[in-house]
Amino acid sequence: MAAALVTAPAPPTSAPHNHRLHHLLTQNDSINIRCVKQIHARILRATPPPESNTETLFLYSRLVHHYSLQDLRCTFHLLSQIPDPNAFIYNTVIRAYARSKDQKRKAFCLFEEMVKLDGVVPDKHTFPFVLKACAYLFSLSEGKQAHAHLLKYGFASDVYINNSLIHFYASCGCSESARKVFDKMQERSLVSWNVIIDALVQMGEFEEALKFFVEMNQAFEPDGYTLQSVIDACAGLGALSLGLWVHAYILRKYSIDSEFDVLINNSLVEMYCKCGLLRIAEQVFQGMIRRDVNSWNVMILGFAMHGEAERVFEHFSGMVDEGKMLPNSITFVGVLTACNHRGLVDVGRRYFDAMVNEHKIEPVLQHYGCLIDLLARNGLISEALDVVASMKMKPDNVIWRSLLDASCRQSINTELIEPIAKQIVGSVEDGWSSGEYVILSRLYASADRWNEVGLVRKLMTDKGVTKEPGCTSIEIDGTVHEFFAGDVTHPRKKEIYQFLDVVNEKLESEGYVPDCAQASMVNELDDEKGKSLGLHSERLAIAFGLLNSKPGIPIRVFKNLRVCKDCHNFTKLVSRIFKVEVVMRDRVRFHHFRDDGMCSCKDFW
């Protein structure tokens, strides 16, 4: 996003004795803090107080500017010494605080002070800085106040301010407000389109982002920032065809020495990994002339999500051996994730220990989460709980959920798990999300305790907790189709359901029996529970893929939730019976179902 520049007032005609001070303060921005303080001392001795004339006020405005680049404490102190600071001085100090690491809230406080003063009016340079600070702090209320003020002062049509507003609302998760600002803009630059597209991508609204890109492409030629956002949207949605088009466009339009080379190639590697084309992702990675630490991390994370642990370890060694890039916190998230997806307990312990002791990286929740999940899913519940007890921070819902889920998957006696569940719910201050309730209900279902399943569902209703609906997408001939569980909205629904019946008949003839413990419905007979499983979103997407995919082309489906055990078994049989490769990305990882009826996860996920 292009930031508005602070425009200093034009200097008045300098008196002879101030000419040297003017020259020192306006020649460049590279004056060190010691020189700034020396100049400040000369101004105090040689000039009247700042309220005496505009020339002295200009000198003080330049002093504020130089202090703001190097010393916030001195900046604020100087501001307090100026009796009547003008808008430029306030803008300079607000910008300094908005760009600071840990004092951004002060930017809005100064803005509030500014609007209360007589004779000081915020200008078009004020609001982008204030909104930037509010966006970083997710301060929705304060940002809305700034929005109200900019409307009051007549800046509703300023393109730079509107770009900042879009970024602010998007950062706070208010997509509707961001779109309203964009729709009302009378003038839009390239930057405006980039901001709204990037905002939608960051909020996970990938389809909307791609729609905006198509519309933008009619008026502007996309630049590197646009293309990076579009690639990220393709990765999130699994829109491989558009991703391939963007890649081809980049190869036609941009030279290998482009300033966007590393950023775009990193996004391409991630996109191909998330679309299930690991081989092409590696080709892009190997073809990169320049790489940064993110390049290695994206490739390592890509191998990890596909369960290619050996390739992860190979690239980790290559990264370290190359000597130019040191692994960071994200690198070890990828390595530990790979260990987790393959159940490599001893290897995972060694890498965790190396991260802490050799590379001196402080573990964060993601690292602990990988290790705890690895231990718990391999039956080492006690050791996993010991790791939880050793953490310097409080475990989050994800860690508690992995413990509960692993306990259920280990078929531990229900009576033994219930106390753990109660301990967990008592430890989570914000209560449970739908995931924890679903796991607990599945635990009771696996023990045929359907009354308790009903009680869990009632508890969810009483607490206003709703289960996230399962949604699976599949791309056919460049069009992404979405299916929800029991979906009846697709225009070809009749054909899909008829073919799904054929698929189920073939599976039953091979001995397939639904695992009713995976059904979340209650007060139903077993055959009705089996029917509810048969309507899971991934089955509808796979049936649609079988109807429309060309022979020899893998069916690629993307699910927003973790695939259940029964749908995993269903897909293995489909791949074998119909001799088709099915690539499935769920919330946790990739599953590659080969036509021999095996899955790349080796039934460990």
- Report, as an integer, the average pLDDT of 375-391: 91
Q: What is the pLDDT of residue 4?
A: 41
Strand order in the sheet with 582-585: 479-484, 471-476, 555-559, 582-585, 590-593
Answer whether 93's CB lies under 8 Å from 110's CB: yes
Q: What is the mean pLDDT of the chain?
A: 82
What would the CATH number be for the domain defined by 1-174?
Answer: 1.25.40.10
Q: What is the pLDDT of residue 535?
A: 83
CA distance 397 to 274: 25
- Report, as an integer, the average pLDDT of 483-505: 92
Q: What is the pLDDT of residue 49?
A: 59
Q: What are phi and psi of 555, to 5 degrees?
A: -90, 125
Helix, strand and coil content of the chain, in percent to the nearest 5, comes to 65, 5, 35
What would the CATH number be for the domain defined by 188-279?
Answer: 1.25.40
| pLDDT grade for 171, boundaries at 50, 70 and 90 | confident
- Report, as an integer, the average pLDDT of 194-198: 88
Specify the higher pLDDT residue, 112 or 473.
Answer: 473
Q: What is the pLDDT of residue 530?
A: 46
Q: Hey, which CATH number is domain 291-393, 1.10.287, 1.25.40, 1.20.140, 1.10.3470? A: 1.25.40
Answer whether 559's CB lies under 8 Å from 537's CB: yes
CA distance 161 to 147: 9
* Predicted confidence (pLDDT) at residue 8 exceeds the cutoff of 60: no
The continuous run of DSSP H or E covering 36 comes out as helix 33-46
Q: Give all strands (DSSP E) within 206-362, no chain letters.
A: none
- Provide the β-strand partners of residue 475: 480
Range in 65-74, 217-226, 258-267, 364-373 the model is least confident about: 65-74
